[in-house]
Structure 1
Amino acid sequence: MPQSEFEKMKAGQWYSCLDPELDAMRARAHEAVHEHSMMSPSERGNIAPKLRALFAECAEDARIETRFHCAYGVNIHLGRDVFINVGCTILDTASVIIGDHSMLGPNVQIYCAQHHKDPELRKQHLEIALPVTIGRNVWIGGGAIILPGVCIGDDAIVGAGSVVTKNVEPGVTVVGNPARVMGDRA
Protein backbone atom coordinates (compact mmCIF):
# COMPACT_ATOMS: atom_id res chain seq x y z
CA MET A 1 0.00 0.00 0.00
CA PRO A 2 1.39 3.47 -0.87
CA GLN A 3 2.42 5.73 1.98
CA SER A 4 0.36 8.81 2.82
CA GLU A 5 2.02 12.21 2.57
CA PHE A 6 1.98 12.37 6.39
CA GLU A 7 3.77 9.00 6.60
CA LYS A 8 6.37 10.22 4.10
CA MET A 9 6.81 13.42 6.15
CA LYS A 10 7.32 11.44 9.37
CA ALA A 11 9.79 9.10 7.63
CA GLY A 12 11.96 11.99 6.40
CA GLN A 13 11.08 11.39 2.74
CA TRP A 14 10.02 13.88 0.08
CA TYR A 15 6.28 14.56 0.38
CA SER A 16 3.68 16.96 -0.99
CA CYS A 17 2.85 19.59 1.60
CA LEU A 18 -0.52 20.27 -0.06
CA ASP A 19 -2.51 17.23 0.97
CA PRO A 20 -5.98 16.87 2.57
CA GLU A 21 -4.70 14.98 5.64
CA LEU A 22 -1.92 17.54 6.24
CA ASP A 23 -4.38 20.40 5.60
CA ALA A 24 -6.66 19.01 8.32
CA MET A 25 -3.74 18.67 10.75
CA ARG A 26 -2.66 22.27 10.09
CA ALA A 27 -6.26 23.45 10.63
CA ARG A 28 -6.34 21.66 13.99
CA ALA A 29 -3.07 23.38 14.96
CA HIS A 30 -4.42 26.77 13.84
CA GLU A 31 -7.49 26.29 16.05
CA ALA A 32 -5.30 25.41 19.04
CA VAL A 33 -3.02 28.41 18.41
CA HIS A 34 -6.06 30.65 18.10
CA GLU A 35 -7.42 29.43 21.44
CA HIS A 36 -4.00 30.05 23.02
CA SER A 37 -3.92 33.61 21.64
CA MET A 38 -7.48 34.53 22.57
CA MET A 39 -7.69 33.22 26.14
CA SER A 40 -7.00 35.62 28.98
CA PRO A 41 -3.60 34.90 30.60
CA SER A 42 -5.23 33.94 33.90
CA GLU A 43 -7.47 31.41 32.15
CA ARG A 44 -4.82 30.14 29.73
CA GLY A 45 -2.01 29.51 32.18
CA ASN A 46 1.37 28.67 30.65
CA ILE A 47 -0.11 27.02 27.54
CA ALA A 48 -3.78 26.76 26.48
CA PRO A 49 -5.26 23.27 26.81
CA LYS A 50 -5.81 22.57 23.09
CA LEU A 51 -2.27 23.62 22.23
CA ARG A 52 -0.73 21.59 25.05
CA ALA A 53 -2.77 18.55 23.92
CA LEU A 54 -1.31 18.81 20.40
CA PHE A 55 2.32 18.60 21.48
CA ALA A 56 4.20 15.31 21.42
CA GLU A 57 5.62 16.17 24.84
CA CYS A 58 5.25 19.21 27.08
CA ALA A 59 6.48 19.72 30.63
CA GLU A 60 3.89 21.22 32.97
CA ASP A 61 6.02 24.33 33.60
CA ALA A 62 6.85 25.07 29.94
CA ARG A 63 5.51 28.49 28.93
CA ILE A 64 4.58 30.02 25.57
CA GLU A 65 3.71 33.69 25.29
CA THR A 66 0.96 34.65 22.86
CA ARG A 67 1.41 35.42 19.24
CA PHE A 68 2.79 31.95 18.70
CA HIS A 69 2.48 29.85 15.55
CA CYS A 70 3.17 26.21 14.78
CA ALA A 71 2.46 24.17 11.66
CA TYR A 72 1.25 20.94 13.25
CA GLY A 73 2.19 20.90 16.95
CA VAL A 74 2.37 17.11 16.98
CA ASN A 75 6.16 17.15 16.48
CA ILE A 76 7.00 19.60 19.27
CA HIS A 77 8.71 18.40 22.47
CA LEU A 78 9.15 20.97 25.27
CA GLY A 79 11.29 20.17 28.29
CA ARG A 80 11.03 21.49 31.84
CA ASP A 81 11.13 25.25 32.39
CA VAL A 82 11.19 26.05 28.63
CA PHE A 83 10.22 29.65 27.86
CA ILE A 84 9.08 30.73 24.39
CA ASN A 85 8.65 34.48 24.10
CA VAL A 86 6.16 36.47 22.02
CA GLY A 87 5.97 36.04 18.24
CA CYS A 88 7.76 32.71 17.87
CA THR A 89 7.07 30.41 14.92
CA ILE A 90 7.83 26.68 14.84
CA LEU A 91 7.24 24.97 11.49
CA ASP A 92 7.32 21.48 12.93
CA THR A 93 7.11 19.23 9.90
CA ALA A 94 9.72 17.12 11.72
CA SER A 95 10.58 16.69 15.37
CA VAL A 96 11.47 19.87 17.26
CA ILE A 97 12.99 19.13 20.65
CA ILE A 98 13.64 22.00 23.05
CA GLY A 99 15.54 20.89 26.15
CA ASP A 100 15.03 21.76 29.79
CA HIS A 101 15.62 25.39 30.86
CA SER A 102 16.00 26.69 27.29
CA MET A 103 14.70 30.14 26.37
CA LEU A 104 13.66 31.53 23.00
CA GLY A 105 13.54 35.30 22.63
CA PRO A 106 10.84 37.22 20.77
CA ASN A 107 10.20 36.31 17.13
CA VAL A 108 12.49 33.27 17.00
CA GLN A 109 11.71 31.08 14.01
CA ILE A 110 12.40 27.34 13.77
CA TYR A 111 11.99 25.74 10.35
CA CYS A 112 12.00 22.00 9.68
CA ALA A 113 10.67 22.09 6.12
CA GLN A 114 13.06 22.34 3.21
CA HIS A 115 11.48 22.81 -0.21
CA HIS A 116 12.90 21.05 -3.24
CA LYS A 117 15.70 22.91 -5.02
CA ASP A 118 14.63 21.60 -8.45
CA PRO A 119 12.08 24.17 -9.70
CA GLU A 120 9.96 21.54 -11.47
CA LEU A 121 9.70 19.42 -8.32
CA ARG A 122 9.12 22.52 -6.19
CA LYS A 123 6.06 23.27 -8.40
CA GLN A 124 4.72 19.91 -7.17
CA HIS A 125 4.92 21.28 -3.60
CA LEU A 126 7.59 18.79 -2.59
CA GLU A 127 9.44 19.31 0.64
CA ILE A 128 11.41 17.24 3.10
CA ALA A 129 11.26 17.52 6.88
CA LEU A 130 14.51 17.70 8.86
CA PRO A 131 14.44 17.68 12.68
CA VAL A 132 15.71 20.51 14.89
CA THR A 133 17.13 19.79 18.33
CA ILE A 134 17.86 22.47 20.91
CA GLY A 135 19.73 21.20 23.96
CA ARG A 136 19.35 22.04 27.63
CA ASN A 137 19.89 25.55 29.00
CA VAL A 138 20.16 27.16 25.55
CA TRP A 139 19.43 30.84 25.03
CA ILE A 140 18.27 31.89 21.56
CA GLY A 141 18.13 35.65 21.10
CA GLY A 142 15.23 37.50 19.53
CA GLY A 143 14.69 37.23 15.80
CA ALA A 144 17.05 34.28 15.35
CA ILE A 145 16.22 31.76 12.64
CA ILE A 146 17.05 28.08 13.06
CA LEU A 147 17.14 26.19 9.75
CA PRO A 148 16.16 22.56 9.03
CA GLY A 149 18.34 19.78 10.44
CA VAL A 150 20.22 21.93 12.96
CA CYS A 151 21.25 20.71 16.43
CA ILE A 152 22.18 23.26 19.09
CA GLY A 153 24.20 21.86 21.97
CA ASP A 154 23.57 22.27 25.69
CA ASP A 155 24.45 25.66 27.24
CA ALA A 156 24.92 27.34 23.82
CA ILE A 157 23.86 30.91 23.03
CA VAL A 158 22.51 32.08 19.67
CA GLY A 159 22.77 35.84 19.28
CA ALA A 160 19.75 37.95 18.37
CA GLY A 161 19.07 38.06 14.64
CA SER A 162 21.40 35.16 13.84
CA VAL A 163 20.63 32.64 11.11
CA VAL A 164 21.76 29.19 12.25
CA THR A 165 22.55 27.05 9.20
CA LYS A 166 24.82 24.45 10.86
CA ASN A 167 25.05 22.58 14.15
CA VAL A 168 26.17 24.56 17.20
CA GLU A 169 28.56 22.88 19.65
CA PRO A 170 27.70 22.81 23.36
CA GLY A 171 28.67 25.88 25.37
CA VAL A 172 29.55 28.19 22.48
CA THR A 173 28.05 31.49 21.38
CA VAL A 174 27.18 32.00 17.72
CA VAL A 175 26.18 35.25 16.02
CA GLY A 176 25.55 36.59 12.55
CA ASN A 177 24.26 35.43 9.19
CA PRO A 178 25.28 32.71 8.79
CA ALA A 179 25.86 32.19 12.50
CA ARG A 180 29.53 31.73 13.44
CA VAL A 181 31.26 31.05 16.74
CA MET A 182 31.93 34.31 18.56
CA GLY A 183 34.41 33.13 21.18
CA ASP A 184 34.37 32.77 24.92
CA ARG A 185 31.31 33.84 26.87
CA ALA A 186 31.92 36.65 29.31
Structure 2
Amino acid sequence: MSPSASIGDGTVVLAGAVIGPSARIGRSSIVNHAASVDHDCTVGDYVNICPGARLAGAVHVEEGTFIGLNAAILQGLHIGHDAVIGAGAVVIANVDAGRTVVGNPARQIISTMKR
Protein backbone atom coordinates (compact mmCIF):
# COMPACT_ATOMS: atom_id res chain seq x y z
CA MET A 1 0.00 0.00 0.00
CA SER A 2 1.26 3.44 -0.87
CA PRO A 3 1.95 5.68 2.14
CA SER A 4 -0.27 8.36 0.58
CA ALA A 5 -3.28 6.01 0.38
CA SER A 6 -5.99 5.91 3.05
CA ILE A 7 -8.16 3.01 4.19
CA GLY A 8 -11.33 3.36 6.26
CA ASP A 9 -12.19 1.51 9.45
CA GLY A 10 -13.25 -2.09 9.04
CA THR A 11 -11.84 -2.41 5.52
CA VAL A 12 -9.83 -5.53 4.70
CA VAL A 13 -6.99 -5.66 2.16
CA LEU A 14 -5.99 -9.25 1.42
CA ALA A 15 -2.72 -10.82 0.27
CA GLY A 16 -1.29 -9.61 -3.00
CA ALA A 17 -3.63 -6.63 -3.32
CA VAL A 18 -2.11 -3.32 -4.40
CA ILE A 19 -3.36 0.10 -3.28
CA GLY A 20 -1.80 2.90 -5.32
CA PRO A 21 -0.72 6.43 -4.41
CA SER A 22 -3.45 8.80 -3.20
CA ALA A 23 -6.13 6.08 -3.40
CA ARG A 24 -8.92 6.33 -0.82
CA ILE A 25 -10.88 3.28 0.31
CA GLY A 26 -13.98 3.75 2.46
CA ARG A 27 -15.22 1.88 5.52
CA SER A 28 -16.11 -1.81 5.71
CA SER A 29 -14.95 -2.61 2.19
CA ILE A 30 -12.86 -5.52 0.92
CA VAL A 31 -10.00 -5.43 -1.56
CA ASN A 32 -9.57 -9.12 -2.22
CA HIS A 33 -6.53 -11.22 -3.18
CA ALA A 34 -4.44 -9.86 -6.06
CA ALA A 35 -6.85 -6.97 -6.77
CA SER A 36 -5.44 -3.54 -7.57
CA VAL A 37 -6.76 -0.06 -6.90
CA ASP A 38 -4.53 2.35 -8.78
CA HIS A 39 -3.54 5.96 -8.14
CA ASP A 40 -6.13 8.56 -7.18
CA CYS A 41 -9.05 6.09 -7.02
CA THR A 42 -11.89 6.70 -4.59
CA VAL A 43 -13.75 3.63 -3.34
CA GLY A 44 -16.83 4.17 -1.19
CA ASP A 45 -18.04 2.33 1.90
CA TYR A 46 -19.21 -1.31 1.72
CA VAL A 47 -17.59 -2.03 -1.66
CA ASN A 48 -16.49 -5.58 -2.54
CA ILE A 49 -13.59 -5.78 -4.98
CA CYS A 50 -13.15 -9.46 -5.88
CA PRO A 51 -9.84 -11.27 -6.51
CA GLY A 52 -7.91 -10.10 -9.53
CA ALA A 53 -10.10 -7.06 -10.24
CA ARG A 54 -8.29 -4.00 -11.59
CA LEU A 55 -9.23 -0.35 -11.15
CA ALA A 56 -7.13 1.95 -13.34
CA GLY A 57 -6.19 5.42 -12.10
CA ALA A 58 -8.75 7.96 -10.89
CA VAL A 59 -11.73 5.56 -10.89
CA HIS A 60 -14.56 6.59 -8.56
CA VAL A 61 -16.64 3.73 -7.10
CA GLU A 62 -19.65 4.64 -4.98
CA GLU A 63 -21.00 2.87 -1.89
CA GLY A 64 -22.27 -0.71 -1.96
CA THR A 65 -20.85 -1.68 -5.34
CA PHE A 66 -19.72 -5.22 -6.18
CA ILE A 67 -16.81 -5.63 -8.62
CA GLY A 68 -16.52 -9.22 -9.84
CA LEU A 69 -13.57 -11.54 -10.24
CA ASN A 70 -10.96 -10.28 -12.75
CA ALA A 71 -13.05 -7.28 -13.84
CA ALA A 72 -11.20 -4.28 -15.28
CA ILE A 73 -12.37 -0.67 -15.00
CA LEU A 74 -10.64 1.85 -17.25
CA GLN A 75 -9.08 5.15 -16.20
CA GLY A 76 -11.22 7.94 -14.79
CA LEU A 77 -14.60 6.19 -14.88
CA HIS A 78 -17.43 6.60 -12.37
CA ILE A 79 -19.34 3.60 -10.99
CA GLY A 80 -22.61 4.50 -9.24
CA HIS A 81 -23.76 3.17 -5.87
CA ASP A 82 -25.03 -0.41 -5.61
CA ALA A 83 -23.80 -1.29 -9.11
CA VAL A 84 -22.69 -4.81 -10.00
CA ILE A 85 -19.74 -5.36 -12.32
CA GLY A 86 -19.73 -8.96 -13.56
CA ALA A 87 -16.74 -11.29 -13.45
CA GLY A 88 -14.30 -10.58 -16.27
CA ALA A 89 -16.12 -7.45 -17.40
CA VAL A 90 -14.13 -4.71 -19.12
CA VAL A 91 -15.78 -1.43 -18.19
CA ILE A 92 -15.13 1.31 -20.76
CA ALA A 93 -17.92 3.75 -19.81
CA ASN A 94 -19.50 5.09 -16.63
CA VAL A 95 -21.99 2.79 -14.90
CA ASP A 96 -25.16 4.28 -13.40
CA ALA A 97 -26.28 3.54 -9.85
CA GLY A 98 -27.94 0.16 -9.36
CA ARG A 99 -27.00 -1.15 -12.80
CA THR A 100 -25.49 -4.54 -13.60
CA VAL A 101 -22.93 -4.74 -16.41
CA VAL A 102 -21.20 -7.79 -17.86
CA GLY A 103 -18.96 -8.71 -20.79
CA ASN A 104 -16.20 -7.18 -22.89
CA PRO A 105 -16.95 -4.40 -23.42
CA ALA A 106 -19.27 -4.28 -20.43
CA ARG A 107 -22.95 -3.86 -21.28
CA GLN A 108 -25.92 -3.38 -19.01
CA ILE A 109 -28.18 -6.35 -18.42
CA ILE A 110 -31.71 -6.33 -17.10
CA SER A 111 -31.70 -8.29 -13.87
CA THR A 112 -34.77 -9.94 -12.41
CA MET A 113 -32.96 -10.64 -9.15
CA LYS A 114 -33.99 -8.65 -6.11
CA ARG A 115 -31.24 -7.35 -3.82
Stretch deviating more after TM superposition (167-176 or 60-69): 60-69
With over 3 angstroms needed to count, the CA separation of the structure-2 counterparts of 1:145 and 1:162, relative to structure 1, is same
Structure 1 counterpart of 2:4? 54
Q: CA deviation at 1:152?
A: 0.3
Q: CA deviation at 1:68?
A: 1.4
Q: CA deviation at 1:52?
A: 7.4
Q: CA deviation at 1:89?
A: 1.8
Structure 1: how far apart are the matches of 2:112 and 2:7?
Answer: 30
Residue type of the partner of 1:107?
G
Structure 2 counterpart of 1:84? 31
Indicate if the aligned counterparts of 1:52 and 1:58 stay in contact, CA closer than 8 A.
no
What does residue range 4-83 of structure 1 map to in structure 2 within 5 Å? 51=1, 53-55=3-5, 57-70=6-19, 73-83=20-30
Unaligned 5+ runs, structure 1: 1-50, 113-130
Structure 2 counterpart of 1:180? 107
The DSSP-based 3-state class of the residue aligned with 1:54 is coil
Indicate if the aligned counterparts of 2:91 and 2:105 stay in contact, CA closer than 8 A.
yes
TM-score, normalization: structure 1?
Answer: 0.58
Of 74, 77, 95, 1:168 maps to: 95
Structure 2: how far apart are the matches of 1:155 and 1:91?
Answer: 21
Structure 2 counterpart of 1:149? 76
Residue type of the partner of 2:55?
I
In the comparison of the two structures, how many residue pairs are matched?
113
Indicate if the aligned counterparts of 1:61 and 1:82 stay in contact, CA closer than 8 A.
yes
With over 3 angstroms needed to count, the CA separation of the structure-2 counterparts of 1:82 and 1:185, relative to structure 1, is farther
Structure 1: how far apart are the matches of 2:33 and 2:109?
Answer: 26
CA deviation digits over 1:107-160, x for unaligned, max 9? 001112xxxxxxxxxxxxxxxxxx210000000000000100110000000000
With over 3 angstroms needed to count, the CA separation of the structure-2 counterparts of 1:179 and 1:139, relative to structure 1, is same
Residue type of the partner of 2:108?
V
Residue type of the partner of 1:60?
D
Of 48, 52, 71, 1:107 maps to: 52
Q: CA deviation at 1:53?
A: 4.4
With over 3 angstroms needed to count, the CA separation of the structure-2 counterparts of 1:54 and 1:99, relative to structure 1, is same
Larger fraction in helix: 1
With over 3 angstroms needed to count, the CA separation of the structure-2 counterparts of 1:61 and 1:53, relative to structure 1, is farther
TM-score, normalization: structure 2?
Answer: 0.91
